Chain A
């Protein structure tokens, strides 16, 4: 394992944040190096927020929202996925790997899923780091 990667996770307070809390309850190492930022809805995360995270040194940014059809604000998770896709394209344009930003859905009780998906992202980013 190389140097620790810094991940910023913008989490919907109705799903991602609670799942994250669950994931962290057992062991704190899993998410070491992961900054969890709770937001009122994944749809409130702007491209600018994600870029700010990168500017302050994040290696990867994940947005964690509700499953499709379960957004408390109906469309927030769908909106942010569009935004993430678009931003990934822009990152590609500046020569970054678009996989540095990703969206994944969890429900409030899926702590394990949160951990697994986050681990996948970290693994992918490790691969990228090696290639850089």
Chain B
């Protein structure tokens, strides 16, 4: 691989070719929507999916909050559209093995069904989703509580069997209770899931549904309406504060004791309610996808304190990462519902389109320079650069290897300059200007930084 070395520090804009191809990683609802939107924009798109089918987490649900269609219908339709679009290539049982190369031309090695595919991409969109973790059982032994996903599976079976028969009645029995604890940032998604399913059970004949929740987060669009509908159709909702509901296994079911805060406040009593239910439903915890650490290392991006991509750093625009040409959409960034994910995917598709539509990438040349004669090739810069903008190359002038700044990836943050133990890396701009610039009403030169 040849490297154009720019020794001038004129801050000019360098021209780089750009691959027009886009790689989408993950075949869940975010990845599908992304691929479709990109195809509409006439981008050459490759979608890799680790499994053998598309749809991800949403595909496993039996209904979607905010949608008339079932997930099956919604995703089925989208997948069918994808199939007919020649601009989209889908690789199943695929995994991204290596990402190398320059901004605009990321060279990616993909392994799919045992075969290796290698291509250059102008952009990579990560849409690997979140994962659902079932909580630990509330009571030991039988009966056990079930997760929302399990309930959805049972509801789907019921629907398929037209809701008749003994086994069906057993799978979703008469008295069903949901317990939803406050889950911080995930609470909107949890509330939507619980309300949606509570309503679905309530709509079955002769069912009693209780929903005990800490905080009904109705922040999402339409959630308030969903909440009202659930209440109106007969779902009994209790709201607890600090005291968690006590759950105990009882004769063919559970006894749930919950302290309703508003009852306690209004009626000046302890507000304790005893419920008996045949089935207890607890929502799963939403956790970062299992491939997050792998991709983090491979793509050299950061994760936030809760191990999701992108979240919480104000400098990272919602889906565009610190690495030019690498984007993150959907559940891999945190818990979002399907409505939000679809909107986000469409918006990001436009951003990706704009990015790969450029003929040239603006690169300021020579801001950071390595002196190959001083470089000890200790790899410190390579390891500490947050933007993966350092590579080790052969330098003909010194006849050996040296660190080299990949200017298109470099953000001129100066971290490598500070880390280099050989003082082999210099911020050209900093020495001349930046570090000498003092602001305090007027700008003036602080001589001593430059001297010595």
Contact = CB atoms under 8 A, between A and B. Distances in A.
Is there any pair of Cβ atoms, one from A and one from B, under 8 angstroms apart in the complex? yes
Interface of A: 13-14, 17, 20-21, 24, 28, 31, 34-41, 43-46, 49, 52, 55-56, 66, 69-76, 79-80, 83, 107
Interface residues of B, number: 32
Given A40-B430, A44-B414, A45-B418, A73 B322 contact: yes
A40 B386 contact: no
Given A52-B449, A71-B315, A39 B440 contact: no
A74 B439 contact: no
A43 B415 contact: yes
B120 interface: no
A41 B449 contact: no
A49 B436 CA distance: 12
A73 B449 contact: no
Interface in B13-71: none
B270 interface: no
Given A28-B441, A69-B312, A74-B386, 5 more contacts: A40-B413, A40-B430, A44-B415, A56-B448, A74-B302
Given A73-B322, A73-B386, A36 B312 contact: no
B426 to A, nearest CB: 11
A17 B434 CA distance: 12
Contacts of B312: 69-70
A30 B448 CA distance: 23
Contact of A73 (B314, B411, B435, B441): B411
B386 A76 contact: yes
A79 B415 CA distance: 8
B440 A31 contact: yes
Given A14-B315, A31-B440, A34-B440, A44 B387 contact: no
A37 B435 contact: yes
B339 interface: no
A69 B415 contact: no
B395 interface: no
A39 B430 contact: yes
A36 B442 CA distance: 11
Contacts of B411: 72-73
B305 interface: yes
Given A39-B414, A43-B415, A28 B315 contact: no
B435 A39 contact: yes
A36 B444 CA distance: 10
Contacts of B439: 17, 20-21, 24, 36, 38
A86 to B, nearest CB: 13
Nearest to A12: B413
Given A35-B438, A36-B438, A73-B387, A41 B448 contact: no
B414 A74 contact: no
28 contacts: A14-B315, A20-B440, A31-B440, A35-B438, A36-B438, A37-B438, A37-B449, A38-B439, A40-B427, A40-B430, A43-B413, A44-B413, A44-B430, A46-B418, A49-B435, A52-B452, A69-B304, A70-B312, A70-B313, A70-B315, A73-B322, A73-B386, A73-B387, A73-B413, A74-B313, A74-B386, A79-B415, A79-B419
